[in-house]
Amino acid sequence: MIENRLQWCIGGAQGSGVDTSANIFSRACAEGGLWVAGKREYFSNIKGEHSYFVVRVDSKEVHALHDAIDMLATFDDETVARHFDEVVKGGALIYDSALVNKKIEDIPTLERRIREELAKRFPSSPPTIGTLIESCRSRGVHVCAVNYSSLLNVISSKTGEKRMSVLGRMVNVIAVAVSFALLKYDIADLKSSIDRIFGGKKNVAAMNGTAAEVAYEYVKGNFHEEIDCRLMKVPRGKGKRMLLNGNQAVALGKVAGGLRFQTYYPITPAADESTYLERYERFPMKGKDGARGSIVVLQTEDEIAAVTMAIGGALAGVRTATCTSGPGFSLMAEGIGWAGINEVPVVITNYQRAGPSTGMPTRHEQGDLKFSMYGGHGDFPRMVICSADMQECFYDANHAFNYAERYQMPVIHLIDKALANSTESVPYFDPSGMNIDRGLFMGDGTPFVLKEGEEYARFKFTENGISPRIPVGTPGAVFWNTGDEHTEIGHITEDPVLRNMMMEKRMGKLDLALKEIPADEQYHYFGDDKPDLLVVSWGSTKGAILEAVDGLRKEGKKIGFLQMRLILPFPAEKVREFAGRAGKIAVMEMNYVGQLADVIAEYTGIMAEFRVVKYNGRPITVDEARSSLRSILEGRSEKRVVLTHGA
């Protein structure tokens, strides 16, 4: 019997409430003191296509998923057809008993490839849902038939609700309640989770509560097999916890970090950040009763406007950001170059998704590393940083502003779909751990004084290349910006000598940044000092790699993990140092070519021996990380490893 360690999955047609069920499930677990990490997978579609949510539950904090599913909760045919094979022996599959005769070939949204594979695998007669259920049962999976329509009838008679359109929505809660009944989890936590989620709508909460009870009792009375896992309340420590996704973590970091103007053009999976900010555009101020700060969130006509408008905000002295994803980020290239040559602190939050072009809009990839570093014409300074978990999303949102203002250049903050659409329970953030560093900025209370007869020069040559910056509208001063090469004052020049000086001033700021930024913000290192294998990675792979590395080290393997946080300027010396102490090197990342591996080669001359990549649009799992690293350690690996897990 495995206690408080499981992976639960629910699936269904988009728009049928899968997210809500996962939310109810996750909250109920969290209410009972457990930790959860969940990911949402969905098509670029609003209604009808398959979507699913996997939630991992544990008694300790979790930040990644496994391959296998311990319990699969379904109320439609397609979810069974897509996921039945993922359920482990001893685990459980919940299904609608009315669907057993449904033929797989009659599920229209199922890809032809899957239909054909299933037909080949079960050749006797056209396979049905029943065939797949049987296959699970014969592997030792507990299958739990639920007659949804008869349960809905019971709920109808208990609540007096007769409308099928309303009752139909209860299938989600039924699936969750059946899951908890099988897991012997306390129904009280489920009901408080329901109350919280439907908080405002008392009737809806009450009806869902009744549905949960009916389903729970049904399982207790009719299902007597013992499944291999169980969930139980655990005592919770003192610290407060919250359940949130990456979009929200970044948004909260931006609010605390001083964002006051955000522009965006809608795109998945970035837009949720902006709409979240919009909802909370007025926020309370610390220690000032009733006083409100505010953020203007503006939906633009396109991403070119989004980035250039954001730059306008930054020129006015505001901490400004825009957030986008691949296609939009491509459109921003020219604007980012303008911010580079004009030394404007603007933050671009790029939620990477599977490219190229429209690619797979709702799927995961870390494909924009090189484009973030190199996109745009000419050489100009910019910084690229990347976050790997909820905490980093939050604090890095402020780091991005700090770097932008301190070094007066655009900062690209890389997030990805896996973070954006993952929901995790995490400890509360601590905004007092943030420092707001506006650099050489004469606004926000810092006095600006010009000597008598002195002319303000926005691009004044200084020892370290940083010129005092003022917002547009500073009394007594005017200045010029231009995307053309310019003089210290900001007027156009094509003088070759001045050109060199300006290029050197601007680009030199990158060396300064690399010198000044604390090591902890440049990279994290975990594991053995002199590892046989050094794994290098960036972004959301962190959770899976950390867990894999931990596991392998417990087996006695010597392994280290270098997580890159600062990509540009690239901490080449540090990477060389870690690499020098290691045996083999593997770079693990979610793109086709191995972009970080290329960058390491470019900056350090070190060719990582192994590239572990994944580009099927699904995030890396702990199992994938572990088994690929183990193969490398044991000398059984190809130089290029392509990971493929995921439905």
Partner 1 sequence: MALKLTDYRTEVHNDWCPGCGDFGILSAVQMALAETKLNLSDTVVVSGIGCSGKTPHYVNVTGIHTLHGRPLPFATGIKISNPGLNVVVVGGDGDGMGIGAGHFVAAGRRNVDMVYIIYDNGVYGLTKGQASPTLKLGTKTKGLIFPNMTSNINPLILAMACGYTFVARGYSFNVQHLKSIIKAAIDHRGTAFVDVLQPCPTYNDINSKEWYNGEDRSAENNGRPLPRVYTLESKGYDPNVNTDAGRDAETVMLDAFKYASEWGDSIPIGVFYRNEEIPTYGDRILERIPEYSALPPAKQRIGNGNRKPVADIEGYMDELSV
The residues in 327-346 that bind partner 1, with binding defined as CB under 8 A, are 334-335, 338
Near partner 1 by CB under 8 A: residue from 432, 554, 635, 636? 432
Q: CB under 8 Å to 134, separation ≥6 — which residues?
A: none
Instruction: Candidates 24-32, 211-219, 501-509, 561-569: pick the segment binding partner 1 (CB under 8 A).
Output: 24-32
438 lies in the site for partner 1, by CB under 8 A? yes
DSSP 8-state assignment for residue 568: E
Instruction: Candidates 7-15, 170-178, 468-476, 616-624: pick the segment binding partner 1 (CB under 8 A).
Output: 468-476
Query: C-beta of 285: minimal distance to partner 1 in Å?
Result: 5
62-101 binders of partner 1 (CB under 8 A): none
274 lies in the site for partner 1, by CB under 8 A? no
43 lies in the site for partner 1, by CB under 8 A? no
The whole-angstrom separation of Cα 251 and Cα 285 is 16
Q: CB under 8 Å to 45, separation ≥6 — which residues?
A: 14
The whole-angstrom separation of Cα 18 and Cα 10 is 7
Near partner 1 by CB under 8 A: residue from 11, 38, 317, 355? 317
Query: C-beta of 192: minimal distance to partner 1 in Å?
Result: 10
Peptide bond into 356 cis (omega under 30): yes
| Nearest to partner 1 of 280, 523 (CB atom) | 280
263 lies in the site for partner 1, by CB under 8 A? yes
Q: What is the DSSP string of 282-300?
A: EEEETTEEEEEEE-EEEE-
Which pair of tokens denotes residue 484?
């053309």
| Nearest to partner 1 of 385, 426 (CB atom) | 426
* Number of residues written out for the chain: 647
Q: Give the interface size with partner 1 as a residue count (CB under 8 A).
A: 84
Which pair of tokens denotes residue 395?
């604090």
| Nearest to partner 1 of 238, 286 (CB atom) | 286
Residue 359's identity, in one-letter code, is G
482 lies in the site for partner 1, by CB under 8 A? yes
446 lies in the site for partner 1, by CB under 8 A? no
DSSP 8-state assignment for residue 319: -
546-585 binders of partner 1 (CB under 8 A): none
On whether the CB atoms of residues 537 and 564 are closer than 8 A, the answer is: yes
SS3 at position 525:
strand
| Nearest to partner 1 of 126, 483 (CB atom) | 483
Instruction: Candidates 92-100, 202-210, 486-494, 632-640: pick the segment binding partner 1 (CB under 8 A).
Output: 486-494
Query: C-beta of 445: minimal distance to partner 1 in Å?
Result: 6
The whole-angstrom separation of Cα 10 and Cα 515 is 48
On whether the CB atoms of residues 122 and 260 are closer than 8 A, the answer is: no
Distance of CA 454 to the CA centre of its chain: 49
8 lies in the site for partner 1, by CB under 8 A? no
Near partner 1 by CB under 8 A: residue from 257, 381, 410, 527? 257
Place of tokens 């009375």: 221
Q: What's the first-to-final CA gap in the chain, in angstroms?
A: 27
Near partner 1 by CB under 8 A: residue from 266, 375, 431, 508? 431
Near partner 1 by CB under 8 A: residue from 2, 450, 492, 642? 492
Query: C-beta of 140: minimal distance to partner 1 in Å?
Result: 34
Near partner 1 by CB under 8 A: residue from 43, 479, 525, 592? 479
| Nearest to partner 1 of 224, 288 (CB atom) | 288
Peptide bond into 569 cis (omega under 30): yes
434 lies in the site for partner 1, by CB under 8 A? yes
CA angle, 17 then 56 then 174, to 5°: 35
Instruction: Candidates 106-114, 202-210, 429-437, 514-522: pick the segment binding partner 1 (CB under 8 A).
Output: 429-437
| Nearest to partner 1 of 225, 301 (CB atom) | 301
Residue 24's identity, in one-letter code, is I
Query: C-beta of 88: minimal distance to partner 1 in Å?
Result: 27
495 lies in the site for partner 1, by CB under 8 A? no
Q: Is 322 exposed, middle or buried (0-12, 13-18, 19+ CB in 10 A)?
A: buried
282-311 binders of partner 1 (CB under 8 A): 282-286, 292-296, 298, 300-302, 304-306, 308-311
Residue 504's identity, in one-letter code, is E
Query: C-beta of 27: minimal distance to partner 1 in Å?
Result: 6
Query: C-beta of 215: minimal distance to partner 1 in Å?
Result: 22
214-253 binders of partner 1 (CB under 8 A): 240-244, 248, 252
The whole-angstrom separation of Cα 304 and Cα 348 is 12
Phi-psi region of 74 (alpha: psi -120 to 50; beta: other; left: phi over 0): beta
Query: C-beta of 166: minimal distance to partner 1 in Å?
Result: 27
Near partner 1 by CB under 8 A: residue from 477, 501, 593, 601? 477
360-419 binders of partner 1 (CB under 8 A): 398
Instruction: Candidates 278-286, 558-566, 582-590, 619-627: pick the segment binding partner 1 (CB under 8 A).
Output: 278-286
The whole-angstrom separation of Cα 418 and Cα 618 is 8
Q: Which of 170, 27, 143, 161 is nearest to 80 (CA)?
A: 143
| Nearest to partner 1 of 135, 482 (CB atom) | 482
429 lies in the site for partner 1, by CB under 8 A? yes
The whole-angstrom separation of Cα 6 and Cα 324 is 34
The whole-angstrom separation of Cα 54 and Cα 67 is 10
Near partner 1 by CB under 8 A: residue from 471, 508, 551, 583? 471
| Nearest to partner 1 of 195, 598 (CB atom) | 195
Near partner 1 by CB under 8 A: residue from 14, 27, 39, 115? 27
Q: What is the DSSP string of 194-223?
A: HHHHTTT-HHHHHHHHHHHHHHHHHHHHH-
Which pair of tokens denotes residue 415?
């997030």
